[in-house]
A and B are shown apart, each in its own frame.
Chain A
Amino acid sequence: MKTNSKNTDRVIQSIFFMIALASIMILFMISVFLFMEGIPILNHVSIFDFIFGEYWYPTSDPPDFGIYPLIIGSIATTFVSALISIPLGVMTAVYLAEIASAKFREIVKPMVELLAALPSVVIGFFGMVVMAPFLQDHFDIATGLNLFNASLMLGFMSIPTICSISEDAIYSVPNNLKEASLALGATHLETITRVILPASISGISTAVILGMSRAIGETMVVLMVAGGAAMAPASIFDPVRPLPASIAAEMAEAPFRGEHYAALFATGIVLFLFTFTFNIVADYISNKYRQVGDSTL
């Protein structure tokens, strides 16, 4: 009887183990199928020409498959959005974890969570019908659908990611560090900038990287708001065509298993590798510099 229930337990445990592997399996399948459908493009262009080619004219004859302008578009939107989301996200996190009264905190925290829950298509729609005409009228530019508008929307989409992970990191700084600093006569602000932020810097870096990863992979916003010109932008008010926008916009028209189809999957591989790298780096930082007690300062 006893051995029997032990055996059952072992069987159950291995079933759970198999299920827990599902996430890794899905991740593996994603890469397998991306590569399976995307690699054939290398029959038409070399890997160098694909990544550094300056012209993306997939439907002209002969077609040009160079995703360099798309990569630049993605990097530019992510970079500008980071200029907005990092300061705002980290400051909000510091405020919520360190300064805010319990009452204010109880209002703002759900707000940030709800901001994260807003469907991306709604934010894209907002950027299109509200923000774009506003920018066009007030900044005297040709089109409101541009790099700046997309970055602004993306920035607000990645704030919740940055904020909630940073807040966890800041919150978990041991209290005695803070008390020691205050007892030495440092002001609250000095304690925050010289003790709490350095102590939680690994968590904050993880947050920032994950936030940027979210921004670079976000699709609907850049599809609707970025303007869609496959050229490297010369100014912040130029329209761009980031990687996800290109995939989402063209997949419907690409002939099944044709060159264009393969090129879009290959674009997906590049995008996947971008976010994969971001995530690995974030994971590395959070494990390597994990805070273990007070000794890490």
Chain B
Amino acid sequence: MNKSLKVNAANNESMPDNKKENRPETYQTEKLEFSDNAFKKGFQSVVFTIFRCSAALNGFALAIVVYFMAANGLKAITWTFLTQSPTDSMTKGGILPCIVGTVCLSLGAILIAFPIGVASAIYLNEYARPGRMLRMIRLGINNLAGVPSVVFGLFGLAFFVVWMNMGVSILAGALTLAAMSLPVIIGSTEEALRAVPDTYREASLGLGATKWQTIFRVVLPAAMPGVLTGGILGISRAAGETAPIMFTAAVFYTPYLPSSPFDEIMALPYHIYVLATAGTEIEATRHLQYGTAIVLIALVLGMNLAAIIYRAKLRKKMS
């Protein structure tokens, strides 16, 4: 008795004539050949190619933007461009005040937002129990993340600049940016805390440590690299935003570098916008615009790239 398994009854005639060997323990299998299989395969590969193209398109879009900025902007980058103030009503000279301003604003924002964000994430991930309160807080954070940047600008103007009487200043801008980057920091800190295995916590608690000691001495140090990555992402987000600082911190032009938190300043993103739309000679300052843009891109993408690479390394280590 031949034990070979006949899979395809329709193709019986075409079955190879190797039954004579009669090896009872081996199963002979045959590929299913439905008439529309070839079509399905072809269709699938066409669709998958479309998917692949759409994925590649993202990288392509990024490359095009960076390429155009770099191709036109790199020649504007000189030592004077990076270390001088704008001159001749912003048609010549450099962008030093803008660089300093952006650094001040984003560092200020992160100094305020980082402790608050990390503490919020610790509460959410380590202390909070599921329930109505937790739902409310999460909803609040999600909504805060969705508030349009220009609305943050309005809020900063009404609250920090006018109501708290800070005036158009670094402090007001940094506070506004801090409110905006808070969700970014909370999100990535939570991810870092979640990645710490529960055995760490159990071991610490089992040794008699209190909850706080466990968090401060065990969980946080283990999560620190991930938390710092979140901080970097927060800085880069704050550095690139324009609308929140338009009414709260940035001005068209100021010849001085800031000397106190209550000074108004220039900032890279706002400088690009001003030169490109409201400058006295828009066409003549094109190279300055490209130059400023490439500096901003280098700053923001550089920080992001560093964070991404670092995080990828961490994930590999953890898994």
Contact = CB atoms under 8 A, between A and B. Distances in A.
A37 interface: yes
Interface in B140-185: 140-144, 146-155, 157-159, 163, 179, 182-183
A279 B142 contact: yes
Contacts of A87: 54
> Of B40, B136, B243, B296, which is in contact with the most chain A CB atoms at under 10 Å from its CB?
B243
B101 interface: no
A6 B183 CA distance: 31
A185 B269 CA distance: 54
B51 A23 contact: no
Given A27-B147, A94-B51, A216-B148, A17 B272 contact: no
A94 B144 CA distance: 28
A202 interface: no
A214 B186 CA distance: 19
B158 A33 contact: yes
A119 to B, nearest CB: 3
Contact of A213 (B69, B127, B146): B146
A112 B143 CA distance: 23
What is the size category of the interface that chain A forms with chain B? Answer: 35 or more
A247 B150 contact: yes
Contacts of A9: 210-212
Say whether chain B's binding surface is mostly helix, strand, loop, or mixed: helix
Contacts of A104: 52, 55
Given A95-B54, A120-B242, A130-B68, A219 B149 contact: yes
Contacts of A282: 142
A276 B301 contact: no
Contacts of B20: none
Contacts of B139: 280, 283
Interface in A180-198: 185, 187-190
A244 B237 CA distance: 19
Contacts of B51: 91-92, 94-95, 99
Contacts of B27: none
Contact of A268 (B59, B151, B183): B151
Contact of A125 (B56, B59, B240, B293): B293
Contacts of A251: 153-154, 157, 246-247
Interface residues of B, number: 86
B43 interface: yes
B135 to A, nearest CB: 8
Nearest to B252: A252
B151 A217 contact: yes
Interface string B31-66: 010000000110110011011101111110110010
Nearest to A222: B150
Contact of B182 (A5, A15, A26, A123): A26
Interface of B: 32, 40-41, 43-44, 47-48, 50-52, 54-59, 61-62, 65, 68-69, 116, 119-120, 122-124, 127-128, 135-137, 139-144, 146-155, 157-159, 163, 179, 182-183, 186, 210-212, 236-237, 239-243, 246-247, 269-270, 272-273, 276-277, 286, 289-290, 293, 296-297, 300-301, 304-305, 308, 312
A163 interface: yes
A9 B213 CA distance: 9
A6 B51 CA distance: 56
Contacts of A216: 148
Contacts of A114: 62, 301, 304-305, 308
Contacts of B246: 248, 251-252
A125 B148 contact: no
B248 to A, nearest CB: 11
A160 B237 CA distance: 15
Nearest to B135: A287
B187 to A, nearest CB: 11
A219 B50 contact: no
A115 B5 CA distance: 54
Given A16-B119, A88-B58, A187-B40, A34 B149 contact: no
Contacts of A265: 154, 158
Given A16-B119, A96-B55, A30 B128 contact: no
Contacts of A92: 51, 54-55, 57-58
Interface string A156-188: 100110010000000000000000000001011
8 contacts: A19-B120, A26-B179, A30-B147, A88-B58, A110-B305, A119-B297, A160-B58, A272-B148
A130 B72 CA distance: 11
A117 B235 CA distance: 11
